Chain A
C-alpha cells in the first residue's frame, strides 16, 4: 500500500487493517500525532486526509491508498503556519499532548471558515484537552484568523 505522508511516498507492507495512526507513528516514525483513546473520541490523532481533518486512530491504512496525508510535521517546515504562530503568541499548550491534533483541527477549520465565529469554533473544535487550554485555543484561532 502506498500513500503520501507530508508529500513523501510511504509503502507499507504490514497488516492492511493497521490504523493509520500506528503506521505514521511506528512505521514512518513521525510521532507528533498522538494516541489518546483509540476510538476517535478525543482527536489527539487528528491529521488531514486530502485536506480533511480526520481522526486516524480508527482509519485502516488500506482505506487511504494513494491519498495525501498531512501531519503536524508537514503543516509547515518552521512553525510558520498562522495557527502555529498564534499558538506560540498565546502560549496555548500546557502539557502539549493534545496540541498537534488541536492545531490540525484548527488549521482545517480556518481553511473552511477563514473568520470563524465562536459557534463555528465550538462545532469544529471537539478535540479534548485535559489541561483545559480551551479558552486560549479559542483566542488563538481568532488571532490566526485576524493575523
Chain B
C-alpha cells in the first residue's frame, strides 16, 4: 500500500487552492496560495440542499473542511458509481476524526496528489478502478482524520489553556476531561487550520471505533429518491448548447463527407455540424450536430446523410473471430505465463485418460443505464468539463493532448455516475463534448444515444479456453494445462507492460496464472487473437471469463472423480484456511449437504479474487439454486460467502455483492455482442437484454469476520455466478453449458 504521508507533507509546500466555490480556505489563504485550477471544485455531485448552504469553511487537511456552524465537509476523491464510496470513505475519515456523523456532508475533490493512486505500477492518477478505492485510501483517510482530530484537540487545549493530554475528542467536540468543559469542532476550525499537521498521528485502536464497521445508511440515498441527484446527463451550465452524435456503422469507419450539411444547418435551432474522433484513434468517426435543444440536435443527427469509409474492420464477423479463437486454442505458439513441473509431457502421455474441455465467452458491453454523456466548455487556454467521469486525470491528459494544453488547464467537475462498470474511465465522450464546444465557442452537452452507446462501446473481450488434466488414483489432478485465447485487453491498454511481463495478459488468465488450487504440474498460457475492436475494463474484468472456465473445469474434474465439488475444492485448498472458511460457510449457509427443495438443483463455485497485479485477496464462494422452467434457466437463490477483510460498512459490501450477482446473471444468461459486416449487431435493450426484476433470485450474503485490513469488494461477486449456475444445470440435465450466454445452450 502506498504511504499517504508523502502526499500530505507535499501539501504544505504545494500551492494548493482556495475552494473555487468561494468557501475560503483559511490554511490556503494564510499560505498565499493561488487558486489552482482543478482544486476543490464545485461539487456538482452534491445534493442541492447541501450546495445551497455553502459558507466560509476552514481546510484542516486535504480531506476535511470545517464550517463554524458545525458542518463537517469530507472530501471524496473517488467517484460514486453506485458502489457506495460516497458513504464508506467519509465513514473512515469521520471515524478517525471523531466527527458527529449527522454533521457530515460530502464534497467531490480533485486536482491534488493526495487524491491519486496507482494500480499495478501503472501511472499515478485519480481514478476509480480495480476495486481499489478502499484498499488504497483506507489508511490514507484514517491518517487524515487522525491528523485533523489532533489539530482540533491542540486548538481546544490552547483555548482552555490546558495540556492537550487532558483533552479528548468525542463526536464533534473536544472535551477538557478534568472539568467537563467542551468546544464544538466548528468553533475550533479557524484555529485548527493554522496548526501544522502531525505526520504520524495516533490512530484509533479497533475498540475505539465508533463508525467503521457500522451499517450506516448511504448518504446519497435521499438525493436519489427525490430526483435531485445530479448525474452527467443533468448538468446545465449557462449559455449551454446540446449535441447529438451519429457514429460510423462499422467499428473503424471514418467520415468521408456529410452530404447534406447545408440542409442540416438550415434547420431551425441547429448551430453546427462537427466531426470528431473516437478515442484513441485520430480519424473522424463521428458527426455531432449542435443545436439549441437536445431533441432538435437528435432529429438533425438522425437526418444526416453521411458518406462513410468502412475502414479496416469492414469484414469483421463474429463467425470468423470464433474460427480464429478455435485455431489459437491448438496453436503451438502460446505465451506461457505459469509453468510448474511437466504438465504438458504428462498430458501427452496420458492418452485417453486425459480430460479436456473447451469453453467460450462473448464480447460484452457495459450498457450503463446512463449512456455516456459530458458537457464541456473550451475557452482560451482552459477547458472546463462536467460529467460522469471515472478517470479525472485521464480526462485531463486526453483533452490536454488534443487541444495542446497542460493537463492542469483542464478543470474537471465530477457528477454522480449513472452506472459505469469501467465504461466512463474511457474519455471518448468527454472528448466529443470538448470538440463540439471548441467548434461553437460555447458550452455543449453531448448525449450519446443508447444505440451508439452499444454499437460503439469499449467491449469486454471475448475469450475461449482449452483445459486439459489428468487425475491421480485419488481423483485429484496431477497435471493441468490451461490455455485462454482471445482479444487481449492489456495489449490495447498497456502493451509495453504486457511485453515486459513476457507477453501474457494477466486479465485473460485471472485466477489461473496464480492458481489457488494445489496442482503439482501446471502450465498456463494464452494467445492474443488480435481484432480491430476497442476493448476495455468491465466490472470484474477478465475473471468473468477466466473463472467461468476454471471453476467449470474443476466441477467437471470433481464429477469425473465422483467427489462432491465442495469436498473436492476443500482438498485442493487445504493449505489456505481462509479459502476453507468461505467454502464451509457457503455450504452451511446454503444447506448444500441437505436435499434441495423439489425441482431445485444446486451448483457451487469458488474464487480467490486478487485484484489487478495481485493487490489484495478476497475469498468468495457461492451456491446457486436453479430451477428449469420449460427448459429455461431460472435462478431462484444464490448464497454467497465472502471474506473481504475488515468490513467498513456491511450494508455497502452486501449491496455490492447483491448487485454483482445480478450483473453477473445478466452476463451469464443473456448478454452477447456479435459483429457482422464490420459493426456490432446489437443496439438497444431488445437485443441486449438485461436481467429483469422478475428474474432476480433471492440473494443471501455471509460476510466472514476478519482481522485483515479491508480488501476489495466491488467486483468479487461476479465470477463464480456462471460456473455455479452451469453446474446446477448439469446436475439437473447432464448438459454441460460451456459457452456464455447460456441462452444459447439449452434450447
- A73–B227 CB distance below 8 A: yes
Q: Nearest chain-A residue to B80 (Cβ)?
A: A95
- B227–A32 CB distance below 8 A: yes
User: Counting CB contacts under 8 A, is A18 at the interface?
Assistant: yes
User: Counting CB contacts under 8 A, is A63 at the interface?
Assistant: no
A121 to B229, CA, bound (A): 26
A123 to B665, CA, bound (A): 20
User: Counting CB contacts under 8 A, is A33 at the interface?
Assistant: yes
User: Counting CB contacts under 8 A, is A8 at the interface?
Assistant: no
- A121–B693 CB distance below 8 A: yes
- A95–B417 CB distance below 8 A: yes
- B418–A97 CB distance below 8 A: yes
- Encode contact with B along A34-76: 1 for CB under 8 Å, 0 otherwise: 1111110110100000000000000000000000000111011
Given contacts A34-B418, A123-B694, 14 further A-B contacts (CB under 8 A): A18-B295, A25-B294, A26-B294, A32-B226, A34-B369, A36-B450, A73-B228, A92-B225, A93-B82, A96-B229, A96-B231, A131-B82, A131-B662, A135-B658
User: Counting CB contacts under 8 A, is A116 at the interface?
Assistant: no
Given contacts A31-B233, A128-B692, A134-B696, contact A95 B416 (CB under 8 A): yes
- Encode contact with A along B342-386: 1 for CB under 8 Å, 0 otherwise: 000000000000000000000000011111000000000000000
- A132–B696 CB distance below 8 A: yes
Which 9 interchain pairs have the tightest Cβ spacing? A32-B227, A132-B662, A97-B418, A95-B82, A96-B224, A94-B82, A122-B694, A72-B227, A134-B696
User: Counting CB contacts under 8 A, is A3 at the interface?
Assistant: no
User: Counting CB contacts under 8 A, is B334 at the interface?
Assistant: no
Partner of A84 from B226, B236, B369 at Cβ < 8 Å: B226
- Encode contact with B along A115-135: 1 for CB under 8 Å, 0 otherwise: 000000111011111111111
- A26–B82 CB distance below 8 A: no
Q: Nearest chain-B residue to A21 (Cβ)?
A: B295
**Which of B93-101, B142-150, B213-221, B399-407 sits within the interface?**
B213-221
Set of chain B residues within 8 Å of A79, measured between Cβ atoms: 222, 225-226
Set of chain B residues within 8 Å of A72, measured between Cβ atoms: 225-227
- Encode contact with B along A84-104: 1 for CB under 8 Å, 0 otherwise: 100110011111111110010
- B696–A88 CB distance below 8 A: no
User: A-side binding surface: helix, strand, loop or mixed?
Assistant: loop
- B293–A14 CB distance below 8 A: yes
Partner of A131 from B293, B371, B663 at Cβ < 8 Å: B663
User: Counting CB contacts under 8 A, is A143 at the interface?
Assistant: no
Given contacts A41-B685, A73-B227, A100-B227, contact A87 B699 (CB under 8 A): no
Partner of B82 from A31, A44, A96 at Cβ < 8 Å: A96
Given contacts A36-B450, A96-B416, contact A42 B685 (CB under 8 A): yes
User: Counting CB contacts under 8 A, is B651 at the interface?
Assistant: yes
User: Counting CB contacts under 8 A, is A5 at the interface?
Assistant: no
A141 to B11, CA, bound (A): 48
Q: Nearest chain-B residue to A127 (Cβ)?
A: B693
User: Counting CB contacts under 8 A, is B296 at the interface?
Assistant: yes
- Encode contact with A along B658-669: 1 for CB under 8 Å, 0 otherwise: 110111011000
Least distance between A42 CB and chain B CB atoms (Å): 6
Using a CB–CB cutoff of 8 Å, the interface residues on chain A facing chain B are 14-15, 18-19, 22, 25-27, 29-39, 41-42, 44, 71-73, 75-76, 79, 84, 87-88, 91-100, 103, 121-123, 125-138
- Encode contact with A along B191-229: 1 for CB under 8 Å, 0 otherwise: 000000000000000000000000001101111111111
Set of chain A residues within 8 Å of B236, measured between Cβ atoms: 29, 31
- B220–A130 CB distance below 8 A: no
Least distance between A26 CB and chain B CB atoms (Å): 5
- A130–B419 CB distance below 8 A: yes
Q: Nearest chain-A residue to B450 (Cβ)?
A: A37
A14 to B242, CA, bound (A): 15
Least distance between A143 CB and chain B CB atoms (Å): 13
- A122–B693 CB distance below 8 A: yes
- A132–B83 CB distance below 8 A: no
Given contacts A26-B294, A41-B685, A79-B225, contact A130 B663 (CB under 8 A): yes
Looking at A44, A129, A130, A138, the one whose CB has the most chain B CB atoms below 10 A away is A130
A30 to B451, CA, bound (A): 24
A137 to B83, CA, bound (A): 17
Set of chain B residues within 8 Å of A134, measured between Cβ atoms: 662, 691-693, 696
Least distance between B230 CB and chain A CB atoms (Å): 7
A98 to B661, CA, bound (A): 18
Set of chain B residues within 8 Å of A94, measured between Cβ atoms: 82-84, 655, 659
- B369–A44 CB distance below 8 A: yes
Set of chain A residues within 8 Å of B296, measured between Cβ atoms: 15
A44 to B224, CA, bound (A): 13
User: Counting CB contacts under 8 A, is B317 at the interface?
Assistant: no
User: Counting CB contacts under 8 A, is B234 at the interface?
Assistant: yes
Looking at B418, B449, B658, the one whose CB has the most chain A CB atoms below 10 A away is B418
Q: Nearest chain-B residue to A119 (Cβ)?
A: B694
User: Counting CB contacts under 8 A, is B684 at the interface?
Assistant: yes
